[in-house]
Structure 1
């Protein structure tokens, strides 16, 4: 069975360098951290990782959470409140939605990627504080937010920006730095995760040093959760170093995505080639998407059907995720099988 459904985009979860770093940390530090970050849980490994993340993304500082979900949830709840308007893209991740609810802020939702509607909301707001939140690379549609446009509007209307680049860190840009590579600047708050391209687990925020200091003392899941284990932290740090030192791995992933999506585009299954690892093939009806996914499984390919409520009704997809470790002949075989299934009589 060939896996085309993993977020382990660079294959680092099974990289021997990452595994060796985890084993070394377990021997030196033990299996657990022993406490929360503000008590006894912070070790040199945690501080070194946060320094490495900030340096990689060109930020002043970073803070590492146990999960990416916690990073979004606690950051929004910490920086926003009842006097804040949170303006959110309609396709944002659930952790952003839940963070906005936890903050007890006013929330306005704009149609996906529609900067005109975003500006209308900014121009008509009455709250003294505003936070614009968007995914960077949207995980079901493989569209990328116009971060430059969002930042321009935020500057004009004196709002903060927060971009969740979970699926773009390690996959997008010449160096795998997501929106930092694409646009050349950082939003006020940039969220990333270690559970996708970095092949481990955890999440992080990068921002100016005063903001990170504030989060260390106000983000509740950081304060009241046990710190990530040394094994996790060492794994993430090793994976980050590989991405930093070997951008050719990121380029291989992008080449694989471009190859597969080009073949599917030429067959009429996609509207355009993609260079992101998420390749959503439109199907329509949920039952049909499930049937296509089952036929792919029978042929030795695991690519799941994504249907309502994850996507809108009648907009079900086969969600293919490409890895840097996939070989060209494997990508070609998947494309040929999917094309055959969708062209055969139903």
Structure 2
């Protein structure tokens, strides 16, 4: 059997297992109401991606700087906008410094591959995002995986603890207060990737906001602009020494072209909105919608805008997702390898601009879909 035949059989086996996925193609913005129906799967949590201030900022930057950044940050890819955004985020979150990356995946690879040298033992939650898992694989460290949120089973003497803030598939939130205590007891480094918490939890500073206020912030806080901030890219908030090491030794930083000016300008506008009274009002609306959807789906209470609907088999999850799609609701099935095989889910999310009626209609459609697809 030659190489092409092996690849063909591999794809057929994947397809037969009900694991092949096809992207839904959109022809409109990521608003609650899209051309094909009601969107309950987007990470545009604060409905900022079409906000006039973000759009205007991107247009102005496009006119002034053009479409591309032209290089990596250490060659020709650093604009005054990059510096301005890094300073704004560092001040907002209470850190000495901040380093921008082109995506959250790249940021996580950079942090773990750069700081996880052979002298380090990394303790990683078993449900951490794939980017953290791959970052651990790239690191030269000894990696120990602990059961999800079971902090009593943390390996002894960790030197670097890494966790999602809000876990991306089930919406659970890390016990960062306990993890911070472990960090302090072992003189370890605590790294929190709060991609889904920034902009959604507490006042928008994510799951670590209480720690920041009490002077116990994680050593490194990673966030993204591609979710609640409605833009693109990611950031690493840290101290100045850590930032300079990332800028000089972090291969994903050194060898990646930087995000262009329109993206950076839009992100800067989003952060400033979030820090304003308007931003706080949007967060309040989001929390209200989260509570509404969680209550209607009999999900545990919480602020996280990710609500998993547990289905089971991959085929049933596809049937439920197709039923929802046929009735005008976009909430795709999440299957292996994103979640454990045989534990497929519908991953529902909610936005600040969903109406109460939108949410009620979605809840009714989900209940109908589950009833009509029992197995």
What is the TM-score when the length of structure 1 is the normalising length?
Answer: 0.93
Aligned positions of 1:1-346 closer than 5 A: 1-118=37-154, 121-123=155-157, 130-173=159-202, 175-183=203-211, 184=213, 185-245=216-276, 246-265=279-298, 270=299, 272-344=300-372, 346=374
Contact 2:319–2:373 (Cα < 8 Å) also in 1: no
Contact 1:89–1:110 (Cα < 8 Å) also in 2: yes
Contact 2:289–2:354 (Cα < 8 Å) also in 1: yes
Contact 2:332–2:347 (Cα < 8 Å) also in 1: yes
The 3-state SS of whatever aligns with 1:14 is coil
Distance 1:332 1:178 in 2: 27
Change (3 A) 1:101 1:345: closer
Contact 1:135–1:165 (Cα < 8 Å) also in 2: yes
The Cα offsets for residues 152-200 of structure 1, whole Å up to 9 and x where unpaired, read as 1111112111000000000111x11112324334201110011111111
The Cα offsets for residues 226-247 of structure 1, whole Å up to 9 and x where unpaired, read as 2210111101101111111121
How far did residue 25 of structure 1 move?
0.3
How far did residue 344 of structure 1 move?
4.1
Runs of 4+ in 1 over 6 A off after TM superposition: none
What is the TM-score when the length of structure 2 is the normalising length?
Answer: 0.86
The Cα offsets for residues 116-172 of structure 1, whole Å up to 9 and x where unpaired, read as 111xx124x7xxxx2110000001111000001111111111211100000000011
How far did residue 17 of structure 1 move?
1.1
The Cα offsets for residues 68-99 of structure 1, whole Å up to 9 and x where unpaired, read as 11111011111111221111000011111111
Change (3 A) 1:29 1:342: same
Unpaired runs of 5+ in structure 2?
1-36
